[in-house]
């Protein structure tokens, strides 16, 4: 709209300039006062129109940058307000895991289990714990049951973006890839099965976590051999 109006003014102004250019000298000689006033008026009007156009352009130019600045600020605030989940592992789980894997895993490997457990709700990656095959008296479902026992007690669906079974299956498969050989889908569907080969039991929530003793199984296996 501004450009259209300014275009019309320029058109009529050109006509006036042509008339003045052709007849300017005659007007100046005949009525010098009127000629000077007309010239001053034209110059003032032209200056006002240029000023208005400059202001309009500046306003249009500034608006997007202000909007972008506001959007970026909101984004930064959202990142700053993102809650961080600090996971503390209960002493019951620490004692249960330590005593169950005593003389089977190193202290470093057990600490990695706790590191993976801290990432359970956060969606972080799990570190490989089993780089050497576990003793032959420890079966896949021993690991799956132990993972269920400790992960179920730390699971918080408010923060975890996975279904519990899927996340627990990923925990078991990623941590113990040499013993846990089934697919994540199969693990998720069968990890609490009690009709598979194992000695470590599922411990329901609300029941105390009693560390599992693999020594009896180890002795039984040794006698068979």
Give per-residue pLDDT as tens, 107-163: 999 999 999 999 999 999 999 999 999 999 999 999 999 999 999 999 999 999 999
Return the H-helix or E-strand segment holding 25: helix 2-30
Give CA–CA dist 30/35, Å, rounded: 9
Q: Which residues contact 64 (CB under 8 A, 6 or more apart)?
A: none
- What's the pTM value of the predicted model, to 2 decimals? 0.63
In tens, the pLDDT along 192-219 reads: 999 999 999 999 999 999 999 999 888 9
**Which of 139 and 25 is assigned the larger pLDDT?**
139
The first and second tokens of residue 178, run together, are: 């040499």
Three-class DSSP category at 158: coil
In tens, the pLDDT along 162-185 reads: 999 999 999 999 999 999 999 999
Chain-wide mean pLDDT for the chain?
Answer: 78
Query: Do residues 154 and 93 lie in contact, with contact meaning Cβ atoms separated by under 8 Å?
Result: yes
- Number of residues in the chain: 225
The first and second tokens of residue 88, run together, are: 């503390």
Work out the widest C-alpha separation in the chain, in whole angstroms: 134
HSE-CB for 139 with a 13 A CA cutoff? 13
Neighbours of 169 (CB within 10 A): 27
Give CA–CA dist 40/42, Å, rounded: 6
Q: Tell me what pLDDT residue 37 has.
A: 56
Give CA–CA dist 220/119, Å, rounded: 36
The first and second tokens of residue 69, run together, are: 């600045």
DSSP sequence for 151-166: HTTT--TTT--S-HHH
Q: Tell me what pLDDT residue 208 has.
A: 97
Q: Which residues contact 135 (CB under 8 A, 6 or more apart)?
A: 104, 214, 218
| Among 186, 214, 185, residue whose Cα is nearest residue 200 | 214
């Amino acid at each position: 709209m501004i450009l259209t109006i300014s275009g019309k003014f320029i058109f009529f102004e050109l006509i006036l300039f042509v008339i003045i250019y052709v007849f300017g000298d005659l007007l100046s000689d005949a009525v010098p006062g009127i000629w000077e006033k007309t010239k001053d008026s034209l110059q003032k009007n032209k200056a006002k129109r240029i000023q208005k156009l400059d202001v309009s352009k500046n306003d249009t130019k500034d608006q997007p940058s202000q909007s972008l600045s506001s959007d970026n600020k909101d984004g930064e605030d959202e990142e700053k307000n993102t809650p961080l989940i600090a996971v503390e592992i209960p002493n019951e789980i620490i004692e249960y895991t330590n005593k169950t894997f005593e003389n089977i895993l190193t202290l470093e490997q057990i600490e990695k289990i706790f590191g993976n457990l801290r990432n359970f709700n956060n969606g972080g990656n799990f570190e490989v714990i089993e780089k050497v095959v576990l003793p032959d008296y420890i079966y896949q479902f021993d690991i799956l049951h132990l993972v269920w026992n400790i992960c179920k007690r730390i699971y918080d669906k408010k923060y975890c973006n996975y279904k519990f079974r899927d996340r627990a299956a990923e925990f078991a498969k990623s941590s113990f890839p040499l013993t846990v050989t089934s697919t994540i889908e199969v693990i998720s569907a069968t990890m609490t099965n009690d009709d598979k080969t194992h000695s470590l039991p599922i411990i329901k929530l609300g029941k105390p976590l009693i560390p599992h003793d693999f020594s009896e199984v180890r002795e039984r296996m040794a006698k068979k051999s």
